[in-house]
Amino acid sequence: MNAPHLPKVAGIDSTVPPPAHTAPCAQGAPAASGAQSAPGALIQDRLAGWVSDLTTLHELTERLSRTAALDGALGELLRAGAALVGARRGLVVLEPADGLGPTTTVGLGLARADLGHLETVPRAATSFGRLLDATAGAIPGVPDSAPTAKTAPPAAAPVTEIVQPDLLADEALDPRHREVAVRLGYAASYALPLLTDTAGRVGAVVWLYDEPAEPAERQRHLIGRYLQYATEHLARLVELDRARSTTATLRTELLPPRLPRVPGVQLAARHGTGPRGGGDWFDALPLPDAALGLAVGSVTGSGPSAVAAMGRLRASLRAYAVMEGEDPVAVLSDLELLLRLTEPARSATALFAFCEPALRKIVLAGAGHSPPLIVGERRTEFVETSLSAPLGMLACWEAPSVDIRPEPGETLLLYTDGLLQRTGDAMDRAFARLHAAAASVPKAARDDPGEIADHVLRTVLPEGLDGPAAAASEEDVVLLAARFE
């Protein structure tokens, strides 16, 4: 009699091999009264195994999908894979085939020094090196005596693997590889490439066993299924990382590479960027008659388009400042007209200050921007600026300017709203926190605008510009300090 056909269940591929925990039916065992037949019990056992495997894969892919950065995704891939193949340690080498990067190596249960030891092994002698250098579907240069290259079960996508179940018993093993394996205490390895249909090779991953071992057929099938999703996720994160790197490079090139030296004033600037890269900017430019122009601003939006708009706005402000910098209202009025005509769908905030250091005189105007802060021995106070709309919000922008007379040794702090918003507090409490941070600057640090800026940032943002709060926020932070002598 023909063997019974397994029923089709939604979402389950009935062609996968039986679960490892499924035991064969005992022949000749008497069936209990009312008990199901042996074929029925086998079907239920297989279905239970498939459902268990699918649940496990679902949980692991869900955890991976919540990672938004490459390092986190690589670490999650290693942990999940180690659980699926029964290993304790491993490493993943990220090396996209197009050569555009990023390239990195992340270990599980391996310290940085351990990864350094592995890097001393000739690339061709490592399983991940052979996978990275291999052409699709083949591993060139593997002798017949070396560990065989196998393919995953037919139910999974074609995946080439290198199994080394007993490294120390392999006479063809490279001597340096043997030495490192003994030093690090692993005796077997299981390696897989990270391949996608669209991006090609992304990298390779290796799991290490403390004793001679290799994954069972079921484990290989599960890790193959998992890597199908994981590699696509990594490929998306690689593209995102490249976009962020390009945006960061563009933003760096658009901001001042260095601050000018003007007699009578010392300058310092600090800049932090959110994960998507926003349009916050600053500028300091020497003007005729030993004057100095200071500016900070923010463009709505994030990503490359906001960075490009920021560059255009900053370049235009520099031109207007050179022509009529002594009148900050005129500078911002011209900037507003340009923004309204060239980018009507975008708005921006800006603050421009015309400084005459020899006279210790500042004339400034703001368009929807937070007021600057004066920090000195005898006062720490916000400058009273007129309430005004951001650029691009009204048909015609205009607001009165404000005159400031800083005392010798006082510092003017210009900043963007991101500094306040990254605190997570309501705006009134964020302003109070900023004021308290500026007032608490140690006396020994008040002679250096850089130390003042660093103290304010450490106090307002204890986790720093690049801490966990920065990764969770899309806000840029700009802080420009000008100390008058």
Q: What is the average pLDDT across 365-378? A: 92
Percent of the residues in the chain that have a pLDDT greater than 90, as a whole number: 57
Please report the pLDDT score of residue 144 as a whole number: 36
**Cα(349)–Cα(297) distance, integer angstroms:** 5
Residues 353 and 372 sit within 8 Å (Cβ to Cβ) = yes
Least confident of 180-184, 201-205, 399-403, 457-461: 399-403
Least confident of 11-15, 283-287, 375-379: 11-15
Please report the pLDDT score of residue 460 as a whole number: 93
Please report the pLDDT score of residue 156 as a whole number: 39
**What is the band of 173 on the pLDDT scale with cuts at 50, 70, 90?**
very high
| The pTM of the whole model exceeds 0.85 | no
**Cα(51)–Cα(10) distance, integer angstroms:** 11
Is it true that the peptide bond before 175 is cis, omega within 30 degrees of 0? no
Q: What is the average pLDDT across 167-183? A: 93
Enclosing H/E stretch for 205: strand 200-209
- Rounded to 5°, the CA angle 115-119-125 comes to 125
Mean pLDDT in the chain? 83
Q: What is the torsional sign of CA 37, 42, 48, 51?
A: negative
Is the pLDDT at 230 greater than 70? The verdict is yes
Is the pLDDT at 309 greater than 90? The verdict is no
Structural tokens at position 289 = 């008659």
**What is the band of 276 on the pLDDT scale with cuts at 50, 70, 90?**
low
Spell out the domains of the chain, with CATH numbers in brackets.
40-246 (3.30.450.40), 255-484 (3.60.40.10)
For 320-349, letters b (16+ CB in 10 Å) and e give: bbeeebebbbbbbbbbbebbbeebeebbbb
Enclosing H/E stretch for 203: strand 200-209
Report which listed range, 34-43, 120-129, 136-145, 146-155, is most confident.
120-129
Is the pLDDT at 475 greater than 70? The verdict is yes
